[in-house]
Structure 1
Amino acid sequence: MAMSANPKNISKIDCPLPSQAAWSQVDYAPGGVCGPRIQQDVQMVILDRGSLRVTTDGREQPVRVGEVVCQWPGGHEQYAFDPDEVSTHRWVALTFDKRSAITKWLKQKRAAASPIRRESKLMRQLFDSAMQLVRSTDPAAETAWAHLALAYFEAYLMDEGLDEAGRVAPLHPALLSMRSTIAEQFAEPLTLEDLAAACSVSTNHLVRLCREQLDTTPMRLLWETRVDQGVELLRSTGLTISEIAYRVGFANPFHFSRRCKERHGQSPRALRQQAWATEG
């Protein structure tokens, strides 16, 4: 499953959406190997059973059950699984646009990140939430996958904090929970109080965290997510604009149209015509 995303003002966004996101779980027979290969994405590999040794750019490191290893674009890598028993691993892959601002952002993240860490409870919850969408036939599920993948990536980084160069710290756990809630429930009539309750913080605290780390507000992020979901449906389905508006959480198509113009500078109809003309 993959999705398209067109982040606005990307140089000002600390966490751009991936252009594609993928999740999976795989069993390898005893003695299984993967590679050598060149990594194309940001990929996090989680070992659930057996053992794993990962060699990246000539450096080998063991991965134990319950640990996550993060691989970065351009790395020369090879995976060697347990020689005596079946190994089970999960993985999350994020493909980012190759714009200079995003490339710089990824370099900053890589410089501050640990190559390996334990999978937290939050990370596992995010993975499980994403896998529940695998069989969804709703095109909007693809965008939800991208949000969940980005949240998983930020959760991987959350123990790092600021480095000496003053790079941006990973997101607060409450913001990761907020993103997960929005990705899963954007079509529901969520309020600020609902989001705060889902994150186990007060509304004031959530707004403050959101302004400090994301330069936005929880409700603005919710509306932007609804717009992005709606635009994805405009491009990939024949649903009417009214049907799409209601499906992604707008009270009426006029509100959806106004939000589309604010975010993309075009009406829903114009966005659809542009997308379909490009495909044709």
Structure 2
Amino acid sequence: MQGVRRIDAMRKSMYETRMTEKSHVALSRISLYHLPDAASRYLFLTVLRAGWIDAAPGGGVSRSACPGDDVLYCLSGRGEVRIGADTYRLTPGQLVWIAGDVPHAHSADQNDPWSVMWFRIQGPDLPMLRLRVFGQGTPRVTIASGAEMIAWFQGLFSILADPRPGVDVRLNAVLGRFLELLTGPANSEARSILPASLDRLIQALMQRPESRWTAEDMARIARLSSSQLRRLFHQHMGVSPRTFLRNQRLVQAQRLMQESGMSLQQIAERCGFFDAFHFSREFKKVVGQSPSSWRESEWGN
């Protein structure tokens, strides 16, 4: 329990900035490690390392790759992060997600070195998770509520410092909360905040997925060119407009299969598919089983 007592003693200082007198030696306030069991590595999001460091001027690290991704949250000071060919400045209240599968580096400012809380995340498909959170955009966000993010780190440190049975399940749960904080509507740079043009189109597609939408129809609703629309849709939604529309049609079809006695042909026509064959082909490709098998399993006996 020594780690827990150490963290409890630091609760107050977590909400304070670094010492105004700058040191030329890095101060590691917290440094924690975790070794997940083999099954958890494939089942859950987990954390391999985490900590809180007051960096020395210019201090940093450069790697060709590392297991897992690093997430840095800047409490004070400034620093620079390089991910592949891209470079980002990090200032207080900003968070950056560093892909571990590409060359990367980060370093503190020479004149105003940062104080950062950080952790290394590992999971089954981190590239897909990054795409889901950031789309094709910048993996850096400004956190609207610094107190909430600091409290989240405090909870993470407490879990890692007291590795009772079930720690990997608890880490998976706390990482879910982190993703909620990261993509919540309060964070203006988060991917979940859609441009008005996309929001207008998405609402229309969700309300009328059965309509015979053409590329021109979508561009007209969004008030964008077709190429602009495709680019923005991929950036913010991670899929094309056509794929999003297909998925909305399949969701509507599932509801009708479960809640009505309509035939598959009727459902296909009602949901905007060309015919029952087209509907069945798309359904099986996405869901993994035929519509009739899905309906039978959902209805049961």
Q: What is the TM-score with the length of structure 2 in the denominator?
A: 0.45
Q: What is the TM-score with the length of structure 1 in the denominator?
A: 0.48
The structure with more radius of gyration = 2
